[in-house]
């Protein structure tokens, strides 16, 4: 699993300033951490609402090329966020879908 891998969604809703604020949380006093973390999440929610109000950004973020729009492509994209056990499941599913595609090709 790759550490700190951001998705296109994260790239559009996160800011450098928010990342800096998140870095400060461990250095705060106990009760302040929770309030500050909630404030940061609220700011992230505001960014998300703003991004989704801009239709052109939403379309670019929420779509992939026609050739890449398949279950196998999605499974391959998920790999970078998976643990070893989850990768085994992804591999099993990838093999299953590959076999199904081969079956459809042979019998169609």
The answer for residues whose C-beta is within 8 angstroms of residue 1's C-beta and 6 or more apart is 80, 81, 82, 83
CB count within 10 Å of CB 75 equals 16
Reported as a pLDDT band with limits 50, 70 and 90, residue 67 is low
pLDDT mean across residues, the chain: 84
Q: How many Å is the Cα radius of gyration of the chain?
A: 19
24-62 residue pLDDT tens: 999 999 889 999 999 999 999 999 999 888 876 666 655
Instruction: Give the pLDDT score at 31.
Output: 86
Instruction: Give the pLDDT score at 66.
Output: 57
Taking alpha carbons only, the member of 24, 27, 29, 51 closest to residue 40 is: 24
2, 70, 74 from 77: Cα distances, Å: 12, 11, 5
Instruction: Give the pLDDT score at 76.
Output: 87
pLDDT at 101 over 60: yes
The answer for residues whose C-beta is within 8 angstroms of residue 43's C-beta and 6 or more apart is 18, 21
Domain boundaries, given as residue ranges, for the chain: 8-61, 66-106
pTM, to two decimals: 0.61
């Amino acid at each position: 699993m790759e550490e700190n891998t951001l998705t296109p969604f994260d790239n559009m809703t996160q800011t450098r300033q928010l990342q800096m604020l998140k870095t400060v949380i461990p250095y705060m006093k106990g009760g302040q951490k929770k309030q500050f973390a909630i404030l940061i999440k609220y700011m992230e929610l505001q960014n998300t609402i703003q991004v989704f109000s801009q239709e052109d950004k939403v379309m670019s973020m929420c779509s992939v090329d026609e050739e890449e729009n398949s279950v196998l492509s999605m499974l391959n994209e998920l790999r970078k966020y998976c643990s070893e056990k989850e990768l085994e499941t992804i591999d099993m599913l990838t093999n299953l879908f590959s076999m199904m595609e081969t079956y459809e090709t042979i019998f169609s």
